[in-house]
Amino acid sequence: MDGSDMNEKMVCCFCAKQIDIKIAVLLQVFPYNNKDESQQLYCHRMCFVNKLHKNIPKHPDLLSDDY
Ligand SMILES: [Zn+2]
């Protein structure tokens, strides 16, 4: 084991189920727009898309059926 376990599991920040880090969406949240501090969250593609209003444009890769 070299510490680069690509089967690492994260927890989806919306449904709290485990998700493989390889397919997780990474959300980097800046609580204040003018400060560098941020928090990284992981989620399922569809959990994220389903939380967004239907009128909000989404990155095409978020809508792919790959995962
Ligand atoms: Zn989820």
pLDDT grade for 7, boundaries at 50, 70 and 90: confident
Residue 1 CA to ligand 1 center (angstroms) comes to 28
Taking a 5 Å cut-off on Cβ, the residues next to ion ligand 1 are 12, 14-15, 44, 47
What Å distances lie between residue 36 and 31, 33, 39, 40, 41, CA to CA? 9, 8, 10, 13, 16
pLDDT higher at 1 or 41: 41
pLDDT grade for 4, boundaries at 50, 70 and 90: low
Q: What mean pLDDT is reported for the chain?
A: 90
Residue 58 CA to ligand 1 center (angstroms) comes to 17
Residue 40 CA to ligand 1 center (angstroms) comes to 15
The H-assigned helical ranges of the chain are 45-51
- Rounded to two decimals, the pTM is 0.80
Residue 24 CA to ligand 1 center (angstroms) comes to 9
CA atoms within 13 A on the CB side of 43: 16
pLDDT digits (tens, 9 = 90+) for 28-52: 999 999 999 999 999 999 999 999 9
